[in-house]
Structure 1
């Protein structure tokens, strides 16, 4: 089978833009806006140190489980994915795989990344892998291709990392002290504080959390005191949002269990029942949500992932290596109960909910309208297409569902949710898809031909809504 490596003609200036109005919206109102990437997994230490990567494999393939899954599916041996093969061998095997990812978002993303960062305008394959590897590595030697330079190249104004409560935030503090124009802010990710499924791991974590808080955690009240102290610590260092990765939210109308008893059991090493685990998560999340509201934070809930499905690979490679999938959890009733309880006492913070199962799009899109109260524009948000849904079809479905069930004009837009410094063309991808949908409506006579009005809404969704929704300000640093 032959595969041409000639110019990637599908990546024209008007890629994904199917009519003149779509093109106008994108090129005049979306293309050049800065990026506020309010959720990602970039390492703060690499931003602070302004790391330069040794080669394209280090920055493009390491840690990218999207690519790893594709390579395994194509029959590439693990040695050339996460194993001990050389970086060039890994790149060559990814180049061998890429042509066969057609109609998968990786095909678009990868070629966009090569074009935007490395001015490579051809199709990557095994036949030109050596040439492209050398080309990209030569460019990466330039000082402007450090982590901070790459972010500046994409006009990134804000990046929010994902940080455990025990994190010292030393990298954020050091970076902020340098007075950079880029805003790097922490996001509070307390999942381990209520992950009581594994008593041995939980005991070790509680010990570390106590050390960070400055006292031993011997009771559930002490656990909440420690979390409150860490939230204060994060707040003083510019943090204004939290994030949680859960299968689903939980809700109990009454105290079905004694929370202190559950805590005592788990720190003594005892396995808990499913009911006890869920009640502990619910109780702890509820307490945290009240703390976020008191601080004026935004809380994010990423819901619906079925994680670590392959036990053999988990033992060998560890978590976050490409063995998670979409789950089919019940979402609506408990989510409603959880938000309603907080809202009843006016303790519901600004909230973003992200859905991973497309069957639940309408559930999430209608749920947010239940708790918008007029106090803040778009107080409760149906977040952008997440993980398996941050591709063209998933983005279109999320945008269309939000448009039908809520107000797309109040949407805070896209994020990368990425561990790669080359992932920021995903914002471009989103912006093109968004503009094309609006342009199609105009062409169909479903929206007025009003460039300035629609252009303003596009600009809001791509940048201004997020700018106004989050309290990102260097003045928030109190140290």
Structure 2
């Protein structure tokens, strides 16, 4: 019998790549500085009843693939049993060939469960029972799953109204795993939303402050930033189509907010003026606290209105957008930098056409005060696969400094997604290994090895300086 599909040199195409991965990258801990894992599951150290709970529930990557091959919705988000859902996924897997799901699926089965057979309809029941039995063990609880992958830091993502009770619980228990969070105030910024006033009311309640003016809104958000900071938060995150930049006076912005609170409709210019003002205010506040700010830019969300109405957001109906990014992003960063209020910043794009735009943009605001102060973030969402990762690494190498890069993250809702760090490290090592073989990089394993280690772990450790 030949070697299994997932083997020790998977994706490594020559001896230099193998040496870099096995001797430099493989055993480094993981700092996962952005994800969407449940903090409650981590704090309570949840144990899953079966692999479907851990692997398929909430994973819209898998859901999109299942719909594409003709799986009925009842086996995706409907009333089918967990075993039936798994069987439907197993039927789908062979048809994901050349999609990153094929790699991820088999890496995850191998790394967590020691299962190296290729998943399909014929072995699905056996694999379901074996993996589910392992997951019901305490050795496969949420924290144990993270520990298996050597996760040192994990940062979830919470709204300003969140109580952070689960982060508080983790801090008191003081386990070896540090669970941080990112402050994500998009709902306070996106004033064009139909539910905006409902959200502001909830923010008012949590902050114990009546929000009747724009000043009140800023005060409430400042209070929540202070609360998050006390509870160990050092990052913010924003998921936007593009950075708004339509300047207005404070009086104008206050009038816009009052108009919205009175139930009146806003025009597009008013919406952009408000979003710009509040985003600038928040970014200046992050700077005062020394936080890192993240901007995930470019997706076109909720394209299928019929399914959005049926299933809600984040269920697999988003795609790559083609928004103009460079001019507003430059103006926004410059507005902060001109006041010396530009904190550490990470920019992520979802459209590969913007790779060089983002890679070049960061160089405009790296002022020498901090190594890699403004970062071009790793391949994200539709781009976190082998080709997308390689393109991001090449763009950053060509117009920036790959040596200062802070590396990979999962951006995932699944506790079984952490082999994506291994996947990234293998792609990274192979890229460098191939160029060493071609003579495009020196055969200096000390120099190249240190660069690999920094990208995979040490740059992020220095950049974020988590106090765990």
Q: TM-score, normalised by structure 1?
A: 0.96
The structure-2 alpha-carbon separation of the partners of 1:367 and 1:220, relative to structure 1 and needing over 3 Å to count, comes to: same
**1:369-408 equivalent positions in 2, closer than 5 A:** 369-408=363-402
Which of 163, 188, 196 is equivalent to 1:193?
188
1:139 alignment counterpart: 134
The CA distance in 2 between the partners of 1:54 and 1:142, in whole Å, is 9
Which of 15, 22, 25 is equivalent to 2:20?
25
Deviation at 1:9, TM superposition (A): 2.4
Which of 447, 450, 465 is equivalent to 1:471?
465
Matched, 1:212 2:199: no
**1:165-314 equivalent positions in 2, closer than 5 A:** 165-199=160-194, 201-253=195-247, 255=249, 258-314=252-308
The CA distance in 2 between the partners of 1:8 and 1:137, in whole Å, is 26
1:130 alignment counterpart: 125
Matched, 1:162 2:157: yes
Matched, 1:13 2:4: no
SS in 2 for 1:276: helix
Which of 35, 58, 61 is equivalent to 2:56?
61
SS in 2 for 1:359: helix
1:50 alignment counterpart: 45
Q: Is the CA contact (8 Å cut-off) linking 1:301 and 1:353 kept in structure 2? A: yes
Which of 356, 363, 366 is equivalent to 2:360?
366
Deviations 1:154-181 (A, max 9, x none): 0000000000001110110011101101
The CA distance in 2 between the partners of 1:261 and 1:471, in whole Å, is 40
Deviations 1:390-440 (A, max 9, x none): 000000000000000000000000000000000000000000000000011
Deviation at 1:254, TM superposition (A): 5.1
2:445 alignment counterpart: 451
Q: Is the CA contact (8 Å cut-off) linking 2:410 and 2:421 kept in structure 1? A: yes
Unaligned runs of 5+ in 2: none
Q: Is the CA contact (8 Å cut-off) linking 2:379 and 2:392 kept in structure 1? A: yes
1:350 alignment counterpart: 344
Q: TM-score, normalised by structure 2?
A: 0.99
SS in 1 for 2:446: helix
Q: Is the CA contact (8 Å cut-off) linking 1:7 and 1:122 kept in structure 2? A: no
SS in 1 for 2:331: helix
1:91 alignment counterpart: 86
2:33 alignment counterpart: 38
Deviation at 1:252, TM superposition (A): 2.7
Count of equivalent residues: 468
SS in 1 for 2:226: helix
2:435 alignment counterpart: 441
SS in 1 for 2:152: strand
The CA distance in 2 between the partners of 1:78 and 1:250, in whole Å, is 37
How much is the aligned-residue C-alpha RMSD, in angstroms? 1.2
The CA distance in 2 between the partners of 1:17 and 1:415, in whole Å, is 21
The CA distance in 1 between the partners of 2:255 and 2:359, in whole Å, is 37
1:73 alignment counterpart: 68
Q: Give 4+ residue runs of structure 1 displaced > 2 Å after superposition.
A: 6-10, 252-257
The CA distance in 2 between the partners of 1:167 and 1:155, in whole Å, is 28
Q: Is the CA contact (8 Å cut-off) linking 1:31 and 1:431 kept in structure 2? A: yes
Q: Is the CA contact (8 Å cut-off) linking 2:246 and 2:269 kept in structure 1? A: no
Deviations 1:417-472 (A, max 9, x none): 00000000000000000000001110010111011111011000000000000031
2:319 alignment counterpart: 325
The CA distance in 2 between the partners of 1:255 and 1:263, in whole Å, is 13
Deviation at 1:277, TM superposition (A): 1.2
SS in 1 for 2:347: strand
1:82 alignment counterpart: 77
Q: Is the CA contact (8 Å cut-off) linking 1:257 and 1:279 kept in structure 2? A: no
Deviations 1:78-112 (A, max 9, x none): 00000000100000000000000000000000000
Q: Is the CA contact (8 Å cut-off) linking 1:14 and 1:23 kept in structure 2? A: yes
